[in-house]
Amino acid sequence: MDHTATDRLRRMTTSAPERPVLFSLAGKRVWVAGHRGMLGSAVVRRLAAEDCEILTADRSVADLRRQDEAEAFVARARPDAIVVAAAKVGGILANSTYPGAFLYDNLMIAANVIEAARRTGVAKLLYVGSSCIYPKLAAQPIVEEALLSGPLEPTNEWYAVAKIAGIKLCEAYRREYGCDFISAMPTNLYGPGDNFDLASSHVLPALLRKAHEAKRAGAAEMVVWGTGTPRREFLHVDDCADALVFLLRGYSDAPHVNVGSGEDVSILELTRLVAGVVGFEGAIVQDTSKPDGTPRKLMSAARLRAMGWSPRIGLEAGVLGTYGWFLKHAAAR
Ligand code: GFB
């Protein structure tokens, strides 16, 4: 499936909000911070179906790690709403290799954008966190209340601390200043626009590249990091973008909201699925010198489901579409 087909699939499956509209997007100026990233670009695609004006700012216009640049941009652009999808992200290896950059960049982006929104009187802000904010050994499926109830997973605690600070800043500004700032916690995302670089990517795009290259080279095996037993939940980025727009419109409260598919798979099961999509028939070999990370990360989807939203893109169809995108945009690199 190519990118256009993915868009078509999303349009066909976009859920209509069943909740009362608390924040109408009609005629509004919505800044998608981080519009070049996988999630930000999916939010831009999703908002294109709405009657709103989409604002973007390249890093050359506003480096969001710099307070003066973030504040000057927001004061100039005067958005009615902001989706904070800007972040320094990466897989398990990148997170543990660059703890300083993951902590500093994400802390600064959160603080600068949220404070700029408060100062300028932005009516609505949606801060995007991550499922890694939860304790390493949280009871599964992980409910929102599990936040700060135990120690974090060491491979990504730096990123998690920054994301927790962003959530808490939204909550604090709601309490102290009455700002309508909300937070959403997506699970592991994948889809068009993903990072397929093996040193910095998440597992799903890494497996697609590895299976593709092993098949092309006629290799007998492909290597999977760790034991293959950790379990992860995956959500297509277009589903996530749809959920974020749903929350932007219909949610206005202090607690953050999980955004997930409600289903998880082991890394080995995922590898078999990816190998099947790519057509790689060789052996799957584990490299146990690489970390497993948290043993299981399945979030409870109950809160968002109860509001009337559910995902539409199944894992196999989503992986197929993402492989199509990879072949067109990233395979040769
Ligand atoms: O997706 P991933 O890098 O991050 O790894 P996390 C998930 C699991 O897949 C780990 C295994 O058990 C990895 O060891 N894995 C197997 C691989 N083969 C590979 C491979 O080739 N590449 C990669 N990257 N993994 C991240 C956090 O955690 O999840 C971030 O570090 C963020 O902070 C993100 O929250 C969503 O799921 O472990």
Q: What is the mean pLDDT of residues 50-72?
A: 97
Q: Is 232 in the pocket of ligand 1 (CB under 6 A)?
A: yes
Q: Does the active-site annotation cover 251?
A: no
Confidence of residue 104 (pLDDT cuts 50, 70, 90): very high
* Rounded distance between C-alpha atoms, residue 15 and residue 36, angstroms: 24
Residues 6+ apart with CB under 8 A from 93: 199, 200, 225, 290, 291
Are the beta carbons of 326 and 195 closer than 8 angstroms? Answer: no
For the chain, how many residues are written?
A: 333
Look at residues 311, 222, 328 and name the one whose alpha carbon lies nearest to residue 268.
222
Question: For residue 290, which atom of ligand 1 is closest to its CA?
Answer: 14
At residue 135's C-alpha, the angle toward residues 129 and 141, to 5°, is 80
Q: What is the mean pLDDT of residues 287-309?
A: 96
Q: Is 91 in the pocket of ligand 1 (CB under 6 A)?
A: yes
Question: For residue 131, which atom of ligand 1 is closest to its CA?
Answer: 35
User: In angstroms, what is the span from residue 154 Cα to ligand 1's centroid?
Assistant: 13
**What is the DSSP secondary structure assignment for residue 131, as one 8-state letter?**
G
Residues 6+ apart with CB under 8 A from 257: 144, 182, 183, 184, 185, 247, 251, 303, 304, 307
Per residue in 170-185, pLDDT tens? 999 999 999 999 999 9
Are the beta carbons of 184 and 242 closer than 8 angstroms? Answer: no
Please tell me the least confidently modeled range out of 19-23, 114-118, 224-228, 297-301: 19-23
Q: Is 174 in the pocket of ligand 1 (CB under 6 A)?
A: no
Nearest Cα residue to atom 35 of ligand 1: 132
Q: Is 192 in the pocket of ligand 1 (CB under 6 A)?
A: no
User: Does residue 10 carry a pLDDT above 80?
Assistant: no
Task: Please tell me which residue, 104 or 4, carries the higher pLDDT value.
Answer: 104
Q: Is 231 in the pocket of ligand 1 (CB under 6 A)?
A: no
Give the containing element (helix H, strand E) for 108. helix 99-120
